[in-house]
Amino acid sequence: MTTRYGGLASRLLANVVDVVILAFLVAGTQWILDQLARQVLLIDVAHCPQTDLWWRPRPQLCRLLPWTGPLAVIVYPVVYRLGFWTLTGWTPGMRLMGLRLVRTNGRRVGLATALLRMLAVTLTALTLGVGYLLVLVSPRRQALHDRIAGTVMLQSRAARPTTPSARDAPHPAAGA
């Protein structure tokens, strides 16, 4: 059986699914915090009380609450991806597409590799998509961030990605 790598469309669709999940998570967090502020703490974000006394929690919370949404938009995707890549090798979107992230030697992705890949993804985004298009011409369908982090995206045709027990097994393409 030949090893198949995830192509551009698969990765794109997996990303779309993940973004939808993340949007729900961010919106859910925002809604819960909003309800907590209104119903429990009785804070009206539109009319924060003016005070210079820093130890009074309500005005400070009132001023901080509008920032939780943007903060979640930045923090959630990073934690979500780092967590899934290191713990399982796939995000829910990747799982749907049968994708699994491994190092080029076939071993599982550690936290350091995941962090490097995350930073590299930012760099790829700065190339306005050119970094992603490398997937189309790369022999192992690696995007720019995959090349930087030394990772590949394996793809299986079966309904479920390869079992976790096989995660640490050396990849046939190791050293290629």
Please report, as ranges, the residues that interact with another protein according to CB under 8 A: 4, 6-10, 13, 96-98, 133, 136-137, 141, 155, 157, 159
The Cα 153–Cα 103 span in angstroms is 9
Nearer to another protein, 7 or 69 (CB): 7
- Quote the CA–CA distance of 163 and 23 in Å, as a whole number: 28
Other beta carbons within 10 Å of 5: 19
Considering the complex, state which of residue 16 and residue 71 has its C-beta at the smaller distance from another protein. 16
Nearer to another protein (CB atom), residue 141 or residue 145: 141
**Dist. CA 118–CA 146, nearest whole Å:** 10
* Distance in Å, CB of 88 to another protein, minimum: 17
Which tokens go with 18? 């993940």
Rounded Cα distance between 25 and 71, Å, is 13
9 vs 176, beta carbon nearer another protein = 9
**Distance (Å, rounded) from C-alpha 169 to C-alpha 51?**
60
Quick check: 110 and 82 in contact, CB under 8 A? no
Provide, rounded to whole angstroms, the least separation between the CB of residue 66 and another protein. Answer: 38
